Amino acid sequence: MTVLLALHRIGPYHHARFQAAAKHLTLTVLETRPQSQEYPWEFIPPQPAYAIAQLPVAADPEQDLPTAELDRQLQAFCNRLQPQAIVTVGWADRAYQRLLLLAQQRRIPAVIISDSRWRDQPRSFLPEAIKRNLLRGYSAAIVAGQESQAYLEQLGFPATAIFQPWDVVDNAFFAQAATTHAKTSLNPHFLCISRFIAKKNHQGLLEAYALYQGQGGQWGLKLVGSGPLESSMRQQIQTLPQPQQVHLQPFQQLEVIAQCYAQAQAFILASSSDQWGLVVNEAMAAGVPVLVSSACGCAIDLVKPGVSGWVFDPEQPQALAALLHRVEQQSPTARSDLIAAACHQLEHFSPATFALGLVRAIAHAQQFPRYSRRATALAQLLSHRQP
């Protein structure tokens, strides 16, 4: 079956998923913003088993082409490819909306990929009503996990047409890196990898770490990432009892990131809001105990508290500080048991399970296609209103 899947730009996470999917489908991946720096990956897919196509770059690489040019490109591309299903990673971009419109016009089943949750942001009636009606044009969906499935169901999407998972990583790659770059006894530390933006809650993490240090905690803290809050983070670090124990490292490519996991004693993601948190998948695959904010979408699916990791309230630094001590004092046997449980949990979140979910979603879309005049009209209206 010939399948077109559209997203902004292929990154290393996507590549692992698409390689797995290409074992079952004739897959072409269309990059709608091929020079996007939303995530500054230095990545060219090595020997892809799937085909790659790119739209021309717009004047702003973080935006889609003008509508007329976008339509011309998409029409010509679909004329050549003749896809039997169209998959888009989201619904808000003009490119995705024009693809939905094209799919509706040509009676090609469309599949939506979404990791959005109800609690990601304040919700109001009109935007939710628009989404509810736009979703009528999609025949199946692939979601990240339980919360994103619940959100689609709230929007009226049929539960039988929802499949998962979407947010997976190459577990074998990180497991191998952990073996290759064995931990040393020097400088034991906690690790946090995330962008330096407000919702990642580095402020709360550093507050908890200050309490931990003040109570005699000995492990260091490594923060890897980049973003607009770096300066304020550095200022907060200087107020710690032992600021020299905290190390900031800029955004890294995947190979270096894997080494960071291998050298860490535990991983922390303290986000105040996070649709999923792929770094948690990575850490668990690398055999690193994880401490995950309850605001992260992955927490409910990946972390069984005290069994495969720990979950904490991001608004309670005292609770996180207590967990930091608990992890530091964990026995080797308890640590091994936790890591084994985490690896078992990850078996449900792998490129292979994504590929299976995608195949099932497309099969469902083929069997139960949904075409909607309302969705078609909305896609037309929304895409013309965008700049």
Share of the chain above pLDDT 70, in %: 98
Backbone angles phi and psi of 173, in degrees to 5 = -60, -45
Asked if domains 2-168+350-385 and 171-346 share a fold, the reply is yes
Q: What is the mean pLDDT of the chain?
A: 95
User: What number is the average pLDDT over the span 147-152?
Assistant: 98
Assigned CATH topology for domain 2-168+350-385: Rossmann fold (3.40.50)
Q: Which residues of 357-380 are buried (b: 16+ CB within 10 A; e: fewer)?
A: bbbebbebbeeebbbbeebbebbb
| pLDDT over threshold 60, residue 185 | no
Q: Which two tokens stand for residue 376?
A: 């078609």
Give the pLDDT score at 386: 64
Give the pLDDT score at 184: 58
DSSP strand pairing (290-293 vs 140-143): unpaired
* Superfamily of the domain at 171-346: Glycogen Phosphorylase B; (3.40.50.2000)
Compute the distance between CA of residue 314 and CA of residue 100 in angstroms, rounded to an integer: 38
Compute the distance between CA of residue 262 and CA of residue 35 in angstroms, rounded to an integer: 31
pLDDT digits (tens, 9 = 90+) for 65-80: 999 999 999 999 999 9
| pLDDT over threshold 90, residue 181 | no
Compute the distance between CA of residue 308 and CA of residue 311 in angstroms, rounded to an integer: 10
**Omega within 30 of 0 (cis) for the link into 56:** no
Give the pLDDT score at 39: 83
pLDDT digits (tens, 9 = 90+) for 231-263: 999 999 999 999 999 999 998 888 899 999 999
| pLDDT over threshold 60, residue 189 | yes
Q: Which residues contact 215 (CB under 8 A, 6 or more apart)?
A: 321, 325
| pLDDT over threshold 90, residue 376 | yes
Give the pLDDT score at 60: 95
Give the pLDDT score at 245: 97
Closest alpha carbon to 254 in 53, 52, 90, 10: 10
Compute the distance between CA of residue 385 and CA of residue 172 in angstroms, rounded to an integer: 44
Query: Which residue ranges make up each domain of the chain?
Result: 2-168+350-385, 171-346
Compute the distance between CA of residue 368 and CA of residue 133 in angstroms, rounded to an integer: 18
Give the pLDDT score at 38: 85
